[in-house]
Amino acid sequence: MLKSSKKLGRIRWYIAAIPLICLAGMTVQVFLMSLQSSQLMSSAAATNLSGRQRMLNQRHTRELLEIAEGDKANPEATYELMMESLSLLRFGGEHEFGEIHPADESVAEALDLSQTAFEHKKKLADEFLSALQIADKERVQNLRAMLIAQTQDAHQAAHAVVMAIGDDASYLAQQQFYRMMLGAILITIGCFAVSMYCSRKAVTVLAKASESIGSTGDVAQNVSTSAESLRSAVEQFEASIQEIARNATGAASVARNAVDAARSTTETISRLGRSSTEIGEMIRVINSIAEQTNLLALNATIEAARAGEAGKGFAVVANEVKELAAQTGTATEDIVRRIEAIQGDTMEATDAIELVSDIISQINESQNAIAGAVEEQTAMTAEISNNVADLADGNNMIANTVLSLTELLRSEVKGAISGQSSSGKRGSQMQAKYQL
């Protein structure tokens, strides 16, 4: 009779371990969701840093032209900042924009092209400064044109890095979503299958025990009543497990919404990249106008130095300068509108990120609901344990049928927990650890 009681106890502990298994699975899902959020934030930080590269590229060119005009500037510091940003994008690290993860293969290829473009531009910049020192005007003009062209090439290479990071973030979000969905499905199916198997085995064993002792009078009737109570408790247990499955499905649905919100953030950042490209086009127009203005100003100076009829030429040149200045003003206004568009896109990106935070909060609420359902399983398991104890006491009072009942319980319980003894031991350890 002692061996029978021990085997019944093993069934009781095995059932009690099921909610712990489900809770552990849900904890893994929450961890995967937090990891995905960290990766998306890293992609956003990398996008901001790579976008800044385009601005630094323009500033580097402007500083070189300012030196040519006799002003003070430090293009070397700007170039060093560009190379430091490239290294951070490639190998990862902490930045004021956020933590940046190391680049994958596709982003690394785009970074290689960007670095090549920057290095070629640096070589042209060094030659340009050398030509300025020896006052080789023709060489300066040629290198100036080459610098402007290389600036555009470097701008496009930096933009390619932004697009590669955006594509990588979108792909990563999709992969993480599919993994979480698969994990949620497997965890739900596994928990449900194990609970159904164990519950039905326990009910079968106890039902046969009730039939075997049906002729032993009032005590046997009490045993049968306890078995029916256990059957009802197990049915409630199965219903609660189904509730856990529905909550898990709800958590997966919320995770899908989080992925959609992150994808919206990626699209908004892509629009920022396109707006920045349009600003680059307008800057080239302004640079071209500025160069023509400088040439006309030089001609105006020459004409002013002449006497007599040559003064009429000065008036013509002055009128041309005025028209070019008007074009410059128009281009500047267009740049202002583009910048306002970028600011609007930035606000949309901020709203999208806030939406991701709200959705993650909903995920937490779903997990709390799952935890509540697991607590209900703990209470039901205690009730099952009490009913099993009542059955054991009744069996001790049955004299003539105790041997046959013991053999029946030994045979059926052994089949129910065959191959699961190690799982039952781990379930008991987890129960003691979490004090459920």
Summarised one tens digit per residue, pLDDT across range 373-421 is 656 766 666 676 566 566 656 655 654 564 565 566 556 545 555 544 5
Q: Check residue 91 and give its pLDDT.
A: 92
Give 165-195 pLDDT, tens digit per residue: 888 777 776 776 667 677 767 776 766 566 6
Q: Is the pLDDT of residue 215 over 70?
A: no
- Say what the pTM is: 0.43
> Is 339 a residue whose pLDDT tops 90?
no
Instruction: State the average pLDDT for the chain.
Output: 70
- Residue 2: predicted pLDDT: 46
Contacts of 72 (CB under 8 A, 6+ apart): 66
Name residue 93's beta-bridge partners.
100
- Percent of the chain exceeding pLDDT 70 equals 38
pLDDT over 70 (residue 272): no
Q: How confident is the model at residue 63 (pLDDT cuts 50, 70, 90)?
A: very high
Q: Which amino acid, residue 97?
A: F
Band the pLDDT of 149: cuts 50, 70, 90.
very high
Confidence of residue 106 (pLDDT cuts 50, 70, 90): confident
**Over the range 126-143, which residues count as b (16 or more CB within 10 Å of their CB) and which as e?**
ebbbebbeeeeeeebeeb
Supply the pLDDT for residue 434. Answer: 44
Beta-bridge mates of residue 100: 93
Instruction: Give Cβ neighbours of residue 295 (< 8 Å, ≥ 6 apart).
Output: none
Which bin fits 70, alpha (ψ -120 to 50), beta or left (φ > 0)? left
Q: Using 50, 70 and 90 to split pLDDT, how confident is the model at 236?
A: confident
Among residues 84, 9, 30, the alpha carbon closest in space to that of 388 is found at 9
Binned at pLDDT 50, 70 and 90, residue 329 comes out as: low
